[in-house]
Amino acid sequence: MTDDGLAREAARIEEMFLTRDAACGAVPVAVRDPLLAGMHDAARAGGRDGFLLAAMRLFAAAGNGHSRVIPNPAIRVNPARIVLRDDRFCMVQGGVAVPVQRIGGRAVEELVPEWADLLAGSPMRRRMLSGIMMVWPAALAVAGVTEADYALVDGARVRFGAADLVPALPLYPVSDTGAAAAGKDPFPGPDAALVNGVWRVRLSDMKAITRDRTGAVAEQISARPAPAIVDLRGNPGGDFTKALPLIDALARGPRCAVLVDAYTFSAAIVVAVLIAHRLGPRAALFGGDMGDDLRFWAEGDMETLPVTGAALRYATAWHDWRDGQADATTPATIAQHLVAAGDVPVRQTPMAEIEAAALAFVHGW
């Protein structure tokens, strides 16, 4: 890759940072300018991975999970998928997620802080994104790890060399669901089913689902009111307004448990918050901390950078589901639905216990 190509890429990223992304406008000049200089220096040095890390560091300074350089389509990684399970980093082995203890001799939890200036957003979003960092040699090198030697809790050792590297995207989709098999629904099921007197509703992707489908589910629930369990785990977000008829139907029912995890993002979090707000004590969230905070910049778009092939996600609109405050960037279609939900706690529940906990709540046991 020529230095000229990366220089053009750097100029495009700088333009997006300075003029397109609303979250980046709050980065102080004293912080911004050295990061811009570092990115241009990395472009002149000519290494793809070093350049992408510098670009990631620049956008991460905005502190917004929706504003980021996404290296997944552009990099090569060790051929292993690492996902979060009950907040533990696990390597998928034969379809089973086995916790990782050490990488290159270092405890896994020691590595995560090393990437603090490369990843942005909520603490849980940064943890989720650390999975790909644990298999990307350039990111491991930032953390001082030079040997791809993974020690798992079951005693297994998995080692890789430079010849083993593979494209990252098949293992780490841009919108990751946390499934053992990349790109799959980790909790597949019908849109809605009445099982033993409890509605089971699965919303796996707010981008893919249609208003007609959520409307049909809302009609079913309205026709036969019953306790409900809404599963939003692994939902990467999209358009929360598609779920408004469903939320209305749930609000007319008795109780609702909402299942969430580290891979519940953006619009899916908004759906969870709106259910909790509308139902009050008749609703509760179960699982693990979600992938976004309740206040974030979103909307905007994502584009592919032409030289490296990385993706650049930029944000243009303010969301505030904690205090319910819109600003000049918040579209009217969002502002009219904003609520001051306050802090919406998640009842921390291991995956193996989440079904029993949700059922106990909706039945009032």
Number of domains the chain contains: 2
Amino acid present at 100? V
So what's the pLDDT on residue 263? 97
Q: Is the pLDDT of residue 151 over 70?
A: yes
What mean pLDDT, rounded, does the chain reach?
Answer: 96
Label residue 327 exposed, middle or buried (CB < 10 Å: 0-12, 13-18, 19+).
exposed
2 confidence band (pLDDT: 50, 70, 90): low
- Check which CATH number belongs to the domain holding 231 and give it: 3.90.226.10
Q: Is the pLDDT of residue 340 over 60?
A: yes
Q: Is the pLDDT of residue 364 over 90?
A: yes
So what's the pLDDT on residue 4? 87
When pLDDT is averaged across residues 236-243 and rounded to a whole number, the result is: 95
Instruction: Classify residue 325: in a domain, yes or no.
Output: no
- Alpha-carbon separation of residue 263 from 92, 219, 292 (angstroms): 16, 28, 9
When pLDDT is averaged across residues 84-96 and rounded to a whole number, the result is: 95
When pLDDT is averaged across residues 109-130 and rounded to a whole number, the result is: 96
Quote the domain boundaries for residue 196. 192-294+341-363
Q: 78 is written with which tokens?
A: 């060790």
Cβ 263 vs Cβ 291: under 8 Å: yes
Question: Which tens digits make up the pLDDT trace of 48-71?
Answer: 999 999 999 999 999 999 999 999
Q: Is the pLDDT of residue 1 over 70?
A: no
Residues 136 and 178 in one domain: yes
Cβ 341 vs Cβ 319: under 8 Å: no
Residues 122 and 31 in one domain: yes
Residues 40 and 153 in one domain: yes
Q: Is the pLDDT of residue 219 over 80?
A: yes
So what's the pLDDT on residue 8? 95
Alpha helices in 46-112 (DSSP H): 48-60, 108-111
> What is the pTM (predicted TM-score) of this model?
0.95
Residues 170 and 49 in one domain: yes
When pLDDT is averaged across residues 271-300 and rounded to a whole number, the result is: 96
Q: Is 123 left (phi over 0), alpha (psi -120 to 50) or beta?
A: alpha
